[in-house]
């Protein structure tokens, strides 16, 4: 059961950086899938713009391959692909000069929804904003979409915000965090705010702790130069994991409305405690399994950048004071598995003398793979042998519950691009939210840089460095296993 597709308005979408990796892997295959689903009107146009001097025809030819590679075979319909490619145009553009801008101005239509996707290095955001404005291509209704990394600290994020704000209002700026476009991430809000079941006990009084895990099996090979200037803290925690934490911790917004949701997330970020060095473990993967080490992949023999981080985070507000949030993410771990696990407290008093004790209820929201939810509950073990209790999972796989075929559920980018065209900013980050996230992140990074901390080595295919176990053990808790 996949929801009804409502076509968006006719649009002109300009993708700056259209020959790049993100456009090939995500944006263009995603647009094709929305076209195939019937969501994109026939008169819409996607205009690639990049430095390469090629024709629209050449551009269309280069898109064949990404569609073949990144769209499931069952969704590759030659007639639809041909129609989709016919919507594509291309203009060679010079982001810092004048080349291509008049041609772009002539191509973009005044009476349709206009969106400009900046799939380029952040250092070009200001130039693109300026040129769009100077050449009269942007107007007060157009939208611009920007990708992460949105800065590398508070100062750079603030400068980026200002360079965009010089020409666009906040209502026109769509800052993408693709985790917000994931189906299960949005389900977090549905589970919390469309059911009475959890919300009354969604607080420190009843929740012992929260674990957020984003495990990956890939290393940084191929993008080591970028990654080495970033590390897991900037690449994953400041944005994706922060968003997950916000959706778990925020107060119910008064309405599912962009500013109401983002106001509540911002309050959570502002309430995050500073993190002490003893509550952080950083790691770097070693060589193994026929693959090189982080040091080899980053080509920086002295690198102190972390490919793994685990941390304990506190939130100082009435709802959460006293409930720790444990976050961990890393490359080259045992499995590609991401989940949020909410461990509730044990009942205050047990009437049963159960040999195995009473286990706490755990609500697990699996983000990927096998999207779904599990709630563990204690029940009576079947049979006549007295009142023995056992723990069982109430398991719901979304694929099973919703009819088996998740191939038509839009991936994060598809959904987010359609939201841009619809003019819905709920799943995009507001400027103040990004800055608040950096304001929390900066002292943590500055702290380990000033101390000269080195990440611990960890075996590829493991759960990360052993020290991360201690982070939980010393609190009398345990990490869940990272498994698919
Ligand atoms: C990106 C990070 O934003 O998210 C990558 O830069 C990471 O390092 C990726 O691998 C993870 O996204 P997903 O959707 O595969 O979980």
The pLDDT value recorded for residue 431 is 97
Looking at the CA of residue 214, tell me the nearest atom of ligand 1. 16
The percentage of the chain sitting over the pLDDT mark of 70, rounded to a whole number, equals 98
- pLDDT of 407 over the 70 cut: no
Q: What CA–CA distance (Å, rounded) separates 269 from 442?
A: 13
Residue 369 CA, chain-centre distance (Å), reads 14
318-330 per-position pLDDT tens digit: 999 999 999 999 9
Q: List the structure tokens of 134.
A: 């100077």
Respond yes or no on whether the N-terminal peptide bond of residue 369 is cis (omega within 30° of 0). yes
DSSP per position, 138-188: --TT-EEEEPSP--SSHHHHHHHHHHHHTTS-GGGEEE--GGGGSHHHHHH
The yes-or-no verdict on residue 2 having pLDDT over 80 is: no
CB-based burial of residue 315 (10 Å sphere; 0-12 exposed, 13-18 middle, 19+ buried)?
buried
Find the 448 Cα to ligand 1 centroid distance in Å: 24
Contact of 108 with 47, CB cutoff 8 Å = yes
- Which residue, by CA, sits nearest to atom 4 of ligand 1? 236
* Active site members: 240
What distance lies between CA 65 and its chain's CA centroid?
A: 26
C-alpha 334/C-alpha 336 separation (Å) is: 7
User: What is the residue with the minimal CA distance to atom 14 of ligand 1?
Assistant: 179
Question: For the segment 348-375, what is each residue's pLDDT rounded down to a tens digit?
Answer: 888 888 877 888 999 999 998 888 899 9
Quote the CA–CA distance of 103 and 140 in Å, as a whole number: 20
Q: Which residue has the tokens 């995050």?
A: 272
Ligand 1 pocket residue status of 216, Cβ below 6 Å: yes
**pLDDT score recorded for residue 329:** 98
Residues counted in the chain: 484
Contacts of 29 (CB under 8 A, 6+ apart): 66, 67, 70, 71
Residue 282: strand pairing partners: 309
Strand intervals (E) in 185-266: 207-215
* Ligand 1 centre distance from Cα of residue 274 (Å): 25
**Distance between the two ends of the chain, CA-based, in angstroms?**
24
How far is 193 from 201, CA to CA, in rounded Å? 13
Side-chain half-sphere CA neighbours of 464 within 13 A: 32
- Residue 254 burial (CB count, 10 A): 10
Residue with more model confidence, 73 or 457 = 457
Closest C-alpha to ligand 1, atom 13: 179
Q: Output the CA 40–ligand 1 centroid distance in Å.
A: 27
Q: Tokens in use for 380?
A: 């009576």
Evaluate: CB of 235 within 6 angstroms of ligand 1.
yes
Before 149, cis peptide (omega within 30)? yes
3 state SS for 54-112? CCHHHHHHHHHHHHHHHCCHHHCCHHHHHHHHHCEEEEECCCCCCCCHHHHHHHCCCCC
Q: Considering only CA atoms, which of 109, 117, 99 is closest in space to residue 45?
A: 109
**Ligand 1 atom at minimum distance from 148 CA:** 3
Query: What are the angstrom distances between the C-alpha of 50 and each of 14, 24, 93?
Result: 10, 13, 5
Res 361: pLDDT: 94
Q: Is the CB of 147 under 6 A from ligand 1?
A: no
Q: Positive or negative, the Cα torsion across 182, 157, 421, 61?
A: negative
Give the Å distances, CA to CA, from 166 to 127, 143, 173.
11, 14, 12
The H-or-E segment that residue 36 falls in is helix 28-36
- Does 371 sit in the ligand 1 pocket, CB within 6 Å? no
Which pLDDT tens digit goes with each residue over 450-476?
999 999 999 999 999 999 999 999 999
Quick one: which atom of ligand 1 is closest to the CA of 223? 8
Q: Does the pLDDT at position 405 exceed 70?
A: no
In whole angstroms, how far apart are CA 67 and each of 45, 81, 85, 208?
17, 8, 10, 46
As a whole number of angstroms, the distance between CA 216 and CA 109 comes to 42
Q: Is the pTM of this model over 0.85?
A: yes
Ligand 1 centre to CA of 246 (Å) is 18
> What are 206-235's pLDDT values in tens digits?
999 999 999 999 999 988 999 999 999 999
Contacts 24+ apart (CB under 8 A), 469-472: 470/281, 471/279, 471/281, 471/310, 471/311, 471/312, 471/326, 472/326
Return the half-sphere exposure (C-beta side, CA atoms, 13 A cut-off) of residue 227: 22
Quick: pLDDT tens for 228-278.
Answer: 999 999 999 999 999 999 999 999 999 999 999 999 999 999 999 999 999
Please state the atom number of ligand 1 nearest to the C-alpha of residue 412: 14
Helix%, strand%, coil% for the chain, nearest 5: 40, 20, 40
Separation between Cα atoms, residue 372 and residue 392, nearest integer Å:
16
pLDDT-derived band at 70, boundaries 50, 70, 90: confident
Q: Is the CB of 339 under 6 A from ligand 1?
A: no
Whole-angstrom Cα distance, residue 344 to residue 320? Answer: 13
pLDDT value at 157 more than 80 = yes
Taking CA atoms, 322 is separated from 105, 243, 268, in Å, by 56, 20, 15
């Amino acid at each position: 059961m996949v929801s009804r597709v409502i076509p968006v308005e006719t649009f002109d979408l300009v993708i700056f950086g259209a020959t790049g990796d993100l456009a090939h892997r995500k944006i263009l295959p995603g647009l094709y899938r929305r076209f195939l689903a019937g969501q994109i009107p026939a008169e819409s146009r996607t205009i690639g713009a990049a430095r390469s001097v090629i024709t629209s025809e050449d551009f269309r030819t280069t898109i064949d391959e990404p569609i073949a590679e990144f769209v499931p075979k069952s969704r590759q319909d030659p007639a639809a692909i041909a129609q989709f490619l016919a919507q594509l145009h291309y203009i060679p553009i010079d982001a810092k000069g004048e080349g291509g801008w008049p041609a772009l101005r002539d191509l973009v239509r005044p009476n349709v929804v206009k969106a400009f996707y900046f799939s380029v290095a952040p250092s070009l955001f200001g130039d693109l904003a300026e040129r769009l404005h100077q050449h009269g291509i942007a107007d007060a209704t157009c939208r611009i979409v920007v990708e992460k990394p949105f800065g590398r600290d508070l100062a750079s994020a603030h400068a980026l915000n200002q360079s965009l704000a010089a020409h666009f209002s906040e209502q026109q700026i769509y800052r993408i965090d693709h985790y917000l476009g994931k189906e299960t991430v949005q389900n977090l809000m549905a589970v919390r705010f469309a059911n009475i079941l959890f919300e009354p006990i969604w607080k420190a009084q009843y929740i012992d702790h929260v674990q957020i895990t984003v495990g990956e099996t890939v290393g940084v090979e191929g993008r080591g130069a970028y990654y080495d200037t970033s590390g897991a803290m900037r690449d994953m925690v400041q944005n994706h994991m922060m968003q997950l934490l916000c959706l778990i911790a925020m107060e119910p917004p008064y309405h599912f409305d962009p500013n109401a949701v983002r106001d509540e997330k911002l309050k959570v970020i502002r309430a995050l405690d500073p993190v002490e060095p003893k509550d952080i473990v950083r790691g770097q993967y070693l060589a193994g399994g026929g693959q090189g080490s982080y040091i080899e992949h980053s080509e920086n023999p002295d690198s102190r950048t972390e490919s793994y981080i685990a941390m304990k985070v506190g939130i100082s507000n009435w709802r959460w004071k006293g409930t720790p949030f444990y976050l961990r993410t890393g490359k080259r771990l045992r499995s590609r598995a991401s989940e949020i696990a909410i461990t509730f407290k044990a009942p205050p008093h047990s009437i049963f003398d159960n040999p195995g004790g009473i286990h706490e209820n755990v609500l697990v929201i699996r983000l990927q793979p096998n999207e779904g939810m599990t709630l563990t509950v204690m029940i009576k073990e079947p049979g006549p042998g007295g009142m023995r209790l056992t723990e069982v999972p109430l398991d719901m796989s979304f694929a099973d519950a919703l009819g088996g075929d998740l191939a038509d559920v839009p991936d994060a980018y598809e959904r987010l691009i359609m939201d841009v065209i619809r003019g819905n900013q709920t799943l995009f980050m507001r400027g103040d939210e990004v800055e608040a996230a950096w304001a929390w992140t900066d002292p943590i990074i500055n702290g380990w840089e000033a101390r000269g901390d080195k990440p611990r080595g960890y075996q590829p295919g493991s759960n990360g460095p052993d020290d991360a176990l201690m982070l939980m053990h010393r609190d009398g808790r345990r990490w869940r296993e990272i498994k698919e």
